[in-house]
Structure 1
């Protein structure tokens, strides 16, 4: 695997330090579009230590993603995150987690008693049929409103096979209504057989993204490295 960039500073709708850490392995690993779970090793802490040492606390907000869900970070890494957040006067921590962990979020947040802890869910779409087709692992009866009971942010997949313009716009509107933050991620072809709809990708980039460029709480990734890590 090529060396990944794991630290970035972001000055967009949510100014923060942004870290790509390595976890122990995604518990799910079945999403049709994802090969992200391959970012693992026998010693994730040795990967994560130099990344966390770069944190300055400049924004007071630290956003951490990893190869799966935050609950899959090793104990040493979690302890160092807590120590770093306290020492650098971080007031807000963001993490990502699969819906499967929704009942564990409060327990996880309690590991960081001196910070406000917020979570993002990779829902990808609020269309239950598409989620089933993409093998997302979120039951069809789970609505945006239900996800928002547990998560403050959501990630949406854009321009993937099976989507329509109307469905994408409906997903974005729903995310803006129920979540304080949403990222709109145009699918970038990877090692999976999953396909991008290039017509939708061009339409989104030229007609939709510009209109959302200053929308509160919305971040747009036309490429999966647009936030500086990956």
Structure 2
């Protein structure tokens, strides 16, 4: 089951149904995504399910200026250790106009400090944010090896998790 919304956006009934499936199938670990604003509420979900949960968060980049002033993510932290204090798995985005190779290199170094990470290659959508094809090409050439790292989920296409 995959839902890219924040777990806190799910209804109580949906959470109960997920818990029922977890118990019926004897699932030992769950992955949930939660927005940075919910960082102080993650234990509510851990307590509800009673099994280990890997919490992901879509911070998009560790470059605070780009994340907050360009992407408007509402995740105003200054250091990756602040994220690591709450979340197990950052989700970063690459290939966005305005990003630099240096920003991406730094993000790829930082994600090594986490037990898990997801790297998404940006796809154009209805927002004003646009894809940088040259940056995507550079990234794929330099970082394709990440697809062999079991700690990293790298999404070259939005359907790479089998949904979309």
TM over 0.5: yes
Question: What TM-score do the two structures reach when normalised by structure 2?
Answer: 0.95
Q: What is the aligned counterpart of 1:146 among 57, 82, 92? A: 82
1:36 counterpart residue number:
none
Mapping of residues 31-46 of structure 1, within 5 Å = none
Distance 1:164 1:216 in 2: 26
Query: Tell me, which stretches of 5 or more residues in structure 1 are unaligned?
Result: 1-18, 21-64
* 1:176-195 equivalent positions in 2, closer than 5 A: 176-177=112-113, 179-195=114-130
CA deviation after TM superposition for structure 1 residue 77, in Å: 0.7
2:154 is aligned, of 194, 202, 220, to 220
Match of 2:31 in 1: 94
Q: How many residues align?
A: 163
Q: 2:62 aligns with which of 101, 120, 126?
A: 126
Which one of 91, 101, 111 corresponds to residue 48 of structure 2? Answer: 111
Runs of 4+ in 1 over 3 A off after TM superposition: none
How far apart are residue 119 of structure 1 and its match? 0.3
Over the residues paired in the alignment, what is the CA RMSD in angstroms? 1.2
TM-score if structure 1 supplies the norm length? 0.68
- The structure that is helix-richer by fraction is 2
| Aligned mates of 2:143, 2:31 — CA distance in 1 | 26
1:198 aligns with 2:133: yes
Aligned to 2:160, what secondary structure does the other structure show?
A: coil
C-alpha separation in 2, matches of 1:142 and 1:84: 38
